[in-house]
Amino acid sequence: MDAKALARQWARDEKNLGSNVGSNEDSSLDKQVDKDNLPDHQSPQYVISIYSEQRAIDFDQDQETGQTQIEIDHETVDADTLQRYGRDYGISQATSTHLSAQEKNLWFYSVTPREDRDYFEKGIETYYSLHVHAVDDREPQAQDYRQIGALIDVRLEPATTLARTEVENDSVGVIESDHEF
């Protein structure tokens, strides 16, 4: 066994020992996919697009919208490439920070402009958005978005659901007002 394989084996054994010792709490870290331990044929494939939008003070004064371009169009990438793109394009936020089970159309974006030559010389700010079209040839689900967020360092939490009380479930009725609105 090579050094990396030994280290992964040791980490797995220690994780199993640690999970058996004390608490019954479910750790979200234990549920995340460890991409280093997946065989190559099980590594998720992501179909992504990255768009850029350029804005400048001139655009704002002329009441024009920024210029939008396609940087990457429906490219299939692995987890490492997705992570690198997230870092290279400054992706740091998601359109929603709380995921519901039926989450659809979530995307990720940068909040600070790229500090390149156009930024310093011409005052043009460039922002990026990352769209995930498919994960392993299927539409992304909430768990997929959460794993993608973990890969690119964007925090996503499950949305809380409020439990309904028995009174609410009994269809109490509609409260009527004695005047018109």
Q: Where are the domains of the chain?
A: 46-158
φ, ψ for residue 179, nearest 5 deg: -140, 160
Which amino acid would we find at residue 110?
S
Q: How far apart are CA 129 and CA 70, in angstroms?
A: 10
Mean pLDDT of all residues in 29-39:
45
Question: Of 87, 65, 79, 84, nearest to 34 (Cα)?
Answer: 79
Pick from 50-59, 135-144, 151-160 the range whose average pLDDT is largest: 135-144
Cα separations (Å) of 147 from 33, 82, 128, 140, 177?
A: 7, 11, 20, 11, 48
Residue 14's pLDDT band, with cuts at 50, 70 and 90, is low
pTM listed for this prediction: 0.62
Mean pLDDT score of the chain: 75
Distances, alpha carbon 163 to alpha carbons 38, 49, 57, 100, 167, in Å:
37, 38, 48, 15, 12
